[in-house]
Structure 1
Amino acid sequence: MSQTNEELHLHIIELESKLAFQEDTVQSLNNEILEHHKRIEKLQLQIKLLAEKMQQIPDDMGILRPEEEPLPPHY
């Protein structure tokens, strides 16, 4: 089955359109991953700072460890 030049040309145009769409999708996904990476880094820094602050709290501040907490009144 042979195709004419026009059919081949249309097929190439269709493939180029699909490729352009895929490239755009890949770029969009890459941008989204980059934004998520930035958010994760920011959250990791916040957790680190909170952990450092928690270590600086004196033991006599009235903050109990989970195993030291009394049972809720409904128990």
Structure 2
Amino acid sequence: MPETTLEELEIRIAYQDDTISQLSEQIYRQDQALSRLAARCQALEQRLTQIQEQGDDTPSPTDERPPHY
């Protein structure tokens, strides 16, 4: 195995530091997106619970018969 010079090691470490920084930024962005999606999911669950508790007996558009029947 050829001997690695100090300069080659410094270059390799610089690339690794850059890669670590990019990965860290990507993880941060994914965590933010996941937090937003979790909040939206919770809001939808609350809205669904409200609708179910209201017990509205009016048919929804999905419950109506299509006009061709």
Shorter-chain TM-score category?
0.7 to 0.9
Alpha carbons of 1:6 and 1:72: their partners in 2 closer, same or farther (altered >3 Å)?
Answer: closer
TM-score, length basis structure 2: 0.81
Residue matched to 1:13: 14
Between structure 1 and structure 2, the one with the greater Rg is 1
Higher relative helix content:
1
The alignment yields a C-alpha RMSD, in angstroms, of: 2.0
Task: Tell me which stretches of 4 or more aligned residues in structure 1 moved more than 4 Å.
Answer: none
Distance in 1, matches of 2:7 and 2:53, equals 69
Deviations 1:15-60 (A, max 9, x none): 0100010011011101100110001001100000011112xx4x6x
Residue matched to 2:42: 41
Distance in 2, matches of 1:37 and 1:25, equals 18
Deviation at 1:72, TM superposition (A): 3.9
Distance in 1, matches of 2:26 and 2:36, equals 15
Percent identity (aligned): 22
Q: Which runs of 5+ in 1 are unaligned?
A: none
TM-score, length basis structure 1: 0.75
Alpha carbons of 1:40 and 1:72: their partners in 2 closer, same or farther (altered >3 Å)?
Answer: closer
Q: How many residues align?
A: 66
Q: Which runs of 5+ in 2 are unaligned?
A: none
